[in-house]
Amino acid sequence: MEIEALAKPAGILCRHNTGTACGIYLERPEACARWHCLWRKIGALPDELRPDRSGVVFSLESRPPIAEAPDEACIVGRAVDGVHAFDRWEVAEAFAMFVREGSLPVWKASDRDATMLNRGPKTPARRHRGRAVPRRSPNLPG
Ligand code: SF4
The string of pLDDT tens digits covering residues 98-107 is 999 989 999 9
For the entire predicted model, the pTM comes to 0.80
Which residue out of 12, 17, 35 has the highest number of ligand 1 atoms within 8 Å of its CB and is therefore the one to mutate?
17
d(CA 96, CA 90): 10
What is d(CA 33, CA 39) in angstroms, rounded to the nearest whole number?
A: 16
Task: Tell me the C-alpha distance between 77 and 128, whole Å.
Answer: 15
The atom number, within ligand 1, closest to the CA of 18 reads 5
Provide the pLDDT for residue 6.
Answer: 96
Closest ligand 1 atom, residue 25 Cα: 4
Q: Per residue in 31-63, pLDDT tens?
A: 999 999 999 999 989 999 999 999 999 999 888
User: Which pLDDT value is given to residue 126?
Assistant: 62
